Amino acid sequence: MLGDNGIREIAVEDPGSLGVRQHLRHARLDTPPVPVDADGIRVDVLRAQGAPAVLVTPAHQFPTGVVLGGHRRRELTRWADAGGLIVEDDYDAEHRYDRPPVPALRSMLPERVAYVGSVSKLLAPALRIGWMIPPPPYRDAIVEAKRYADLGNAALPQLVLAHLMESGAMERQLRLLRTRHRRRRDAMIDAIGARLPGAVVHGAAAGLHLMVTFDAGFADTDLAAAALARGVKTQPLSWHSRARPQRPGLVLGYAARTATEIAEGVALLGDALRTVR
Ligand SMILES: Cc1ncc(COP(=O)(O)O)c(C=O)c1O
């Protein structure tokens, strides 16, 4: 649909999700990288780069875990006001541990933001239920594109989701998840402190994963392979980064494992780290 509207490139965060970039490439869009720092995407670089659209993860940047700072939000809003289109991937917004979730950019700028989210990190990725709230001028074209893509999603899981939302069960589930995830996150941070000397933890305030980086000069793909050989699946940070050189790192999910399993897994990662160092 972006292509139909003359948009051939959409800027993405760097580091940023490899999977998302592959999807955009599949839709024949160029994906110029824009660096992310401690406050989120560098809007000055985005402006200088000149792409007409950008895809961002403001609530919890993937993979760094940075939350887009207030000043950057305003800068990004001004960029969009001047004609830019924002695709807001709100993929982790509900999982915020230190304070209430940040409001979506869409709520501030409905005419310039296409908001996307899903139940993948609330209920299960296998449900394949998501939503988009596009800027009004794009709505009809998107409904039509969706129709021609797949004739629509299964109705039954959507009815179940509507029931969970209306009955308050979803809200209760989210409260339970927040407590459970915070415990698992803390277990992972403790285990990293004990078992991964020199690892720096990033992005702990929200989300379902941590990013860790290391100073040592080894390839994070080697570390991930050594961990996998011990039964621990991680993602090397370099998969999600295009800027070189960069520090080696890993993306570690903690939501789906108990605190005991997390401690065991990080201990195995410690073994793997010794071999690659
Ligand atoms: C940053 C980010 N956005 C979007 C997605 C897409 O997830 P889904 O299609 O399951 O909602 C993922 C998947 O892991 C992701 O990491």
Reported as a single tens digit per residue, the pLDDT across 27-85 is 999 999 999 999 999 999 999 999 999 999 998 899 999 999 999 999 999 999 999 99
What count of other Cβ atoms lies within 10 Å of the Cβ of residue 162?
A: 11
Q: What is the mean pLDDT of the chain?
A: 94
* CATH 3.40.640.10 placement within the chain: 3-166
CATH number listed for the domain at residues 3-166: 3.40.640.10
Report the distance separating Cα 262 and Cα 184, nearest Å.
8
Q: How confident is the model at residue 89 (pLDDT cuts 50, 70, 90)?
A: very high
Give the pLDDT confidence score for residue 26 in this predicted structure: 95
Substitution candidate for ligand 1 out of 62, 64, 233, 235 with most atoms within 8 A of CB: 62
Phi, psi of 248 (to 5 degrees): -70, 150
CA–centroid distance, 44 to ligand 1, in Å, is: 26
Helix (H) or strand (E) holding 209: strand 209-213
Give the pLDDT confidence score for residue 100 in this predicted structure: 76
Residue type, 207: G
- Which tens digits make up the pLDDT trace of 208-219? 999 999 997 899
Q: Indicate the burial class of 36 (C-beta count within 10 angstroms; 0-12, 13-18, 19 or more).
A: buried
Is it the case that residue 232 has pLDDT exceeding 90? yes
* CATH 3.90.1150.10 placement within the chain: 171-276
Q: DSSP assignment, residue 199?
A: -
Q: Is the CB of 118 under 6 A from ligand 1?
A: yes
CA–centroid distance, 91 to ligand 1, in Å, is: 6
- Which tens digits make up the pLDDT trace of 102-143? 789 999 999 999 999 999 999 999 999 999 999 999 999 999
Numbers of helices and strands, H then E, in the chain: 8, 11
Q: Is the CB of 213 under 6 A from ligand 1?
A: no
Give the pLDDT confidence score for residue 205 in this predicted structure: 86
Interior/surface letters 209-225, b for 16+ CB within 10 angstroms, e for the rest: bbbbbbeeeeebeebbe
Q: Is the CB of 64 under 6 A from ligand 1?
A: no
Report the distance separating Cα 84 and Cα 139, nearest Å.
17
Q: Is the CB of 254 under 6 A from ligand 1?
A: no
Alpha carbon dihedral 28, 30, 31, 34, in 10-degree steps, equals -170
Q: Which atom of ligand 1 is nearest to the CA of 117?
A: 11
Give the pLDDT confidence score for residue 141 in this predicted structure: 93
Is it the case that residue 94 has pLDDT exceeding 90? no
Q: Which atom of ligand 1 is nearest to the CA of 17?
A: 1
Give the pLDDT confidence score for residue 171 in this predicted structure: 93
Q: Is the CB of 59 under 6 A from ligand 1?
A: no
Report the distance separating Cα 11 and Cα 31, nearest Å.
5
Topology of 171-276 in CATH? Aspartate Aminotransferase, domain 1 (3.90.1150)
Distance (Å) of CA 250 to CA 20, 59, 83, 223, 268: 18, 20, 36, 8, 14
Give the pLDDT confidence score for residue 161 in this predicted structure: 96
Q: Which atom of ligand 1 is nearest to the CA of 62?
A: 1
Task: Give the CB-side neighbour count of residue 176, counting CA atoms within 13 A.
Answer: 8
Residues 275, 235 contacting (CB under 8 angstroms) = no
Is it the case that residue 274 has pLDDT exceeding 80? yes
